[in-house]
Chain A
Amino acid sequence: MTATKLFELSIAEAGRKLRDGSITSLALTEDALARIIAIDPALDSFITVTADRARADAAAADAEFAKGIDNGPMQGVPYALKDIYDTAGIRSTCHSKLRADNVPAADSVVETKFKAQGGVLLGKLATHEFALGGPSFDLPFPPARNPWNREHIPGGSSSGSGAAVAAGLVRMAMGSDTGGSIRGPAAYCGTIGLKPTYGLVSRRGVFPLSTTLDHCGPLSWTVEDSAIALQVIAGYDPLDPASVDLAVPNYLDGLGQGVEGLRVGLPRHFFAEAQDVSPEVVSAIDRAAETLEKLGAVVEEITLPDYELFNACGRVIMYAEAFAIHEQDYQTRPLDFGLLTYMRMTLGAFITAVDLHQAMRLRRELSQAVNLQLKKYDALITASALAPAPAFADIVPNIPPNWPIQTMPFNVTGNPAMSIPTGFSASGLPLSMQIVGRAFDEGTVLRIGAAFEAATGLSAQRPALAEG
């Protein structure tokens, strides 16, 4: 049997070894920093590596372990943040020329929570510019690449998060998701990507893209690690206008309970009838439905409103809100934005107040339609991406790409949604699906994900690049 390498340890596994003294946080951290030096030049997933901070965090965590102090599951565990999360004293660029020298004075709420547990910050990760425009080669930092095939994109906008987790540079990295920016990279890179319910995780200190659609959440190699991360970051923040004051349940409790008796809705028309869908994606989701049935779940086909309505509703809101956020910079220094960001953001200037109001009316109708189904079903499964990761060569110059991905519906409705691998394409790229839950029922989403993950064993397969 091959010995487990340090980078292969999950947060839970590393946590057990840190607590029984068989490894130190400093050893985990040095291993991660060495992997970043060796592998990341091929991926460009990191914008800033905070090596000194990481070593200091690790030494502090080890000292606390030695004193018998246990601050929680992230103590001594390396993590990384998308570079739109504010980090006090550490450059937070949004992958943009406009904020290339921005050093925040305060931490984002999420960073505060990881710091309080004694987590080890490895650095800040590549994103599409302002979580909107990319992948681009006209920005101050290069775009991240897909560890399964460097000639392919890793998805976005949490591109560095997906690439770094898949390459085994970090076990868990935070992303943000406005139209699929956690679940897209998770789908293309073959990781777990959890967009929690709107209002569950504070967005304070995270640069906004579209305030009524923005969500913060983790990407990780295992479902359990996303559950652990969510446990740390979930909770009420009175200073985040969207934050909801609810008790946070234990997300780990249900992970081993299986899916026996759960009812799962499958809106197969959503993806199977879509124009750009890959037959491999459809087959993989059909197999996933069969797997869940074999595990004891009841899977039934359901109908939701046309996917294009969700997409239109979400995009109109996103463009309008993004333009409102960036209007001053757009009017005074528009050409400092990258080309793709400029082209996408400009669309917000064409949306009228009436257009936006119609979108908000539609949003309520679509949310009610999804939640009506979730009265009958414990969860839904549907596609994340409709095809494996496109190649950089597929990008048409000067035209914003519009990759076939179906994540926007659950930004519109705010329901929790998690992307999870379902297999691989003939070309060796990851395939995926989403598990969607009732509002604030991340526990069931994670429970189904954990059962499916265990049944498929897909988390045992790493990209060749990760093996060094």
Chain B
Amino acid sequence: MMTEIPDEAALALEFDVFARRAGLDIPADRRAGVFAGFKDLRRMLALMRQPRTAAHEPAGTYSILSVTRGL
């Protein structure tokens, strides 16, 4: 997903494509509620994307120490 937020029709198409790709069979009576959440999620995904350098390592980096302790 990119930084721009598409219009309602494009969002609906994107929603259906993502749902199919994930193998979801969303009942018709639940679609409006899930789609409302999807629109908000889409807004948040766009907001999150900011210029970062390759050196910006994520939180939660894999730690061999935490995996092996307690064994």
Contacts and interface: CB of A to CB of B under 8 A. Distances in A.
Interface in B25-71: 26-27, 29-30, 32-34, 36-38, 40-41, 43-45, 47-50, 52, 56-60, 66-67, 69-70
Nearest to A212: B60
B23 A331 contact: yes
A365 B43 CA distance: 20
B13 interface: no
Contact of A344 (B29, B37, B49, B69): B37
A355 B43 CA distance: 12
A402 B59 contact: no
A241 B69 CA distance: 9
Contact of A238 (B30, B41, B69): B69
Given A239-B70, A309-B48, A362-B48, A315 B60 contact: no
Greatest chain B CB density within 10 A among A339, A350, A359 is at A350
B19 interface: yes
Interface residues of A, number: 41
A102 interface: no
Contacts of B67: 241
Contacts of B34: 342-343, 346-347
B22 interface: yes
B10 interface: no
Nearest to B49: A358
B30 A342 contact: yes
A367 interface: yes
A400 interface: yes
A429 to B, nearest CB: 26
B18 A349 contact: yes
B24 interface: yes
A358 B48 contact: yes
Contacts of B23: 331
B1 interface: yes
Contact of B18 (A315, A342, A350): A350
Contacts of B45: 312, 316, 351, 355
B59 A363 contact: yes
Contact of A346 (B37, B56, B58): B37
Interface string A349-380: 11110110111111111010000000000000
Contact of B1 (A342, A344, A352, A367): A352
Nearest to A350: B18
- Rank and list the top 8 A-B pairs by shortest CB-CB distance, nearest first: A360-B58, A238-B70, A312-B44, A349-B22, A363-B59, A364-B59, A343-B33, A398-B33
18 contacts: A312-B48, A313-B48, A315-B41, A316-B44, A316-B45, A319-B41, A347-B34, A347-B37, A349-B24, A357-B58, A360-B60, A361-B59, A362-B50, A364-B59, A365-B56, A398-B30, A398-B33, A400-B36
Given A349-B19, A354-B1, A361-B59, 10 more contacts: A309-B47, A346-B37, A349-B22, A350-B19, A351-B41, A355-B48, A362-B50, A365-B56, A399-B32, A400-B37
